[in-house]
Amino acid sequence: MGRYDLALIGFGGVNRALAELISQRGDRLAEELGFALRVVAITDLRAGSLIETDGIDLAPLLAVEPGELSFAGLPGGDADPRNEWVIREVPADIVVEATFTNPTDGEPACSHVRWALTAGKHVCTTNKGPVALAGRELGQLAAEHGVSFEFEGAVLSGTPILRTARRVFGGLEITGVQGIMNGTSNYILGRLEEGIDLPTAIAAAQELGYAEADPTADVEGHDVQLKLMILANHVLGADLCREDVFREGISHITPQDVRDAVSKGLRWKLVGSATRRADGTVEARVAPVALPGHHPLAGVSGPVNAVAFHTDLLGTVTVSGPGAGRIETAYALLSDIIAIHQRHHADDDTAPLPRVLQARVLQETHRG
Ligand code: HSE
């Protein structure tokens, strides 16, 4: 059975949840997926770095409260994250980048991704910064080095929006996308409908773990702006930068506004939309919209997210699911690793396929 050695960059909620999945259900996953996963390096701003090329024993690390974890003093441990050295030098197959999103220049995550790709390592990331701000360049870099750059979790966590659009919609023309892509703002708008004021609703979203470290990114639409850039660039073939995407948040919407809308059969939603114009260019905007009750996004409530794809042959197809959460986002990383496996074994008939795929192939063979 094959195996992928992973270097985890950032050990906050998401990579820690991936480590939990590997530690708690690694054997089951290996049986199901046809390959094993082993963590050989972890780096973290606060905890430092830990390297064990024979595989890190994850259980004792996961038993320590996140804020109290320190790698200094452990065999292979150091107080310094040593990100560049770890990414370039530690023999790993896949670098899993899950540090914080920097919406201004994408750093340091952009550098992390560049170092890994130029060292011939696959990358999967949930970090919106590098994908939104340098996605095209990083995709080219990956191609030049014969490796993969995967980022499903950058939009709607584990809900497979990007991969659905790229793989499942073959033969369709996607003419536009419209989405509720921020769970925090959607949750807040729902609470405003109940008459709760904005600061109380924001505090509740933070308590529930939906909000970014700085909830301004959620409430003022910066988070959706990055996600919309990623969607438009990868699904509609656009090349948008932040200045190209109009942005307006929800902070000026009052409980009275949302209740007035509900009385008229409307619901305020923070909507990111991108549409292909007749000349082929793409117009993108993030703004609150009072949607009529019959709109496919009007019934999407709480932290749930959804993206409606407008297509030429199918009309509107809406995909809905979680848009945030540790485990949900860690699943996106797992789906990226599966995609890397499938891509790099596409012409290898002996490579085992994940069980779900096997079932479909067998069914098709049987039908044929
Ligand atoms: N803070 C984001 C949200 C989570 O509320 O949707 C991940 O992007």
In this predicted model, what pLDDT tens digit does every residue of 247-294 receive, in sequence order? 999 999 998 999 999 999 999 999 999 999 999 999 999 999 999 999
Active site residue 121: no
Find the helix or strand (DSSP H, E) in which 228 lies. helix 222-235
pLDDT band at 141 (very low <50, low <70, confident <90, very high): very high
> Is 324's C-beta closer than 6 angstroms to any atom of ligand 1?
yes
pLDDT at 346: 64
pLDDT at 273: 98
Q: Residue range 62-67: average pLDDT?
A: 94
CA–CA distances in Å: residue 328 to residues 148, 157, 216, 251, 335: 22, 6, 23, 27, 11
Question: Mind listing the pLDDT tens digit for each residue in 297-346?
Answer: 999 999 999 999 999 999 999 999 999 889 999 999 999 999 999 998 86
Choice among 121, 128, 227, 269 that is catalytic: 227
Is there a contact between 282 and 236 (Cβ–Cβ < 8 Å)?
yes
Expressed in angstroms and rounded, the spacing between residue 278 Cα and the centre of ligand 1 is 32
> Is 182's C-beta closer than 6 angstroms to any atom of ligand 1?
yes
> CA neighbours within 13 Å on the CB side: how many for 95?
34
> Is 328's C-beta closer than 6 angstroms to any atom of ligand 1?
no
163/366: higher pLDDT: 163
Q: How far is residue 218's CA from residue 281's CA, in Å, rounded to a whole number?
A: 27
Strands 149-150, 122-125: pairing is parallel
**Sign of the alpha-carbon dihedral angle for 191, 195, 196, 202:** positive
pLDDT at 214: 82
* pLDDT score of 93 more than 80: yes
pLDDT at 324: 87
**Domains, the chain, with CATH or none:** 2-158+325-367 (3.40.50.720), 162-321 (3.30.360.10)
pLDDT at 353: 44
Q: How far is residue 279's CA from residue 156's CA, in Å, rounded to a whole number?
A: 29
Question: Mind listing the pLDDT tens digit for each residue in 6-20?
Answer: 999 999 999 999 999
Burial of 122 (C-beta count, 10 Å sphere; 0-12/13-18/19+): buried
* pLDDT score of 236 more than 60: yes
Q: Residue range 74-94: average pLDDT?
A: 98
> Is 323's C-beta closer than 6 angstroms to any atom of ligand 1?
yes
pLDDT at 210: 83
